[in-house]
Structure 1
């Protein structure tokens, strides 16, 4: 698990290789990742947008932007946690992801970015 705190919002990431959705013979490797967002501030915040940078070990780079996460724009009161699971496919057994969330602070209407720490996507058989 990797963790990073930006402006009082803690992001933790866990990854899992998905062999049942992968097809290595066709260069298709599927990974799931679980994100935990924890509001450590004294203020209510809302996640508005996501921006991902996805790197495949064959040199391919992708960017993904959009509203919310898995169809939600969660509001987190002080001390609250929001978790979600999503996925990413790669053309190789190894890659990385990192990014940011655009957040909104309800008490003063300000926007701020929260960094998502870089995490590795590695097929287990590559570790042997």
Structure 2
């Protein structure tokens, strides 16, 4: 698991290779990732949007942007967390992701950016 704190918001990510949804012969490797976003600050925040940078070990890069996460723009109260699970497919058995969440502090509607730490997507057999 990787963790990073930006402006009182802690983002933790863990990954899981999904062999049952992968097809290596067709260059399709599926990974799930679980994200926990914890508000360690004093004010409620809302996650407005996300921006992902996805890197495949074959040199391919892509970016994904969108509103919220898995269809919601959660409000995270101080001392609370929002967790979700999502997925990413790669053409190789190894890659990485990183990015940022665009957040709004509800007290004054101030916008700020929260870093999503880089995490690796690696099929377990590559670790041997």
TM-score tier (shorter): over 0.9
- In the aligned structure 1, how far is the partner of 2:81 from the partner of 2:104? 16
Secondary structure of the residue that 1:58 maps to in structure 2? Answer: coil
TM-score of the superposition, structure 2-length normalised? 0.99
Secondary structure of the residue that 2:73 maps to in structure 1? Answer: coil
- In the aligned structure 2, how far is the partner of 1:107 from the partner of 1:16? 36
- In the aligned structure 2, how far is the partner of 1:54 from the partner of 1:32? 13
Secondary structure of the residue that 1:50 maps to in structure 2? Answer: strand
Give the RMSD, CA atoms, in angstroms. Answer: 0.4
**Paired residue for 1:44?**
44
TM-score of the superposition, structure 1-length normalised? 0.99
**Paired residue for 1:17?**
17
**Paired residue for 1:8?**
8
Q: Would you say 1:113 and 2:113 are equivalent positions?
A: yes
- In the aligned structure 1, how far is the partner of 2:70 from the partner of 2:110? 23
- Residue-by-residue CA offset, 1:87-123 (whole Å, 9 max, x unaligned): 0000001000000000000101100000000000000
Q: Would you say 1:64 and 2:64 are equivalent positions?
A: yes
**Paired residue for 1:55?**
55
- 1:39 deviation in Å? 0.1
- 1:125 deviation in Å? 1.1
Name structure 1 gaps, 5 residues minimum: none
Q: Which runs of 4+ in 1 moved over 4 A?
A: none
- In the aligned structure 2, how far is the partner of 1:51 from the partner of 1:123? 24
What is the aligned residue count?
Answer: 128
Name structure 2 gaps, 5 residues minimum: none
Secondary structure of the residue that 2:25 maps to in structure 1? Answer: helix
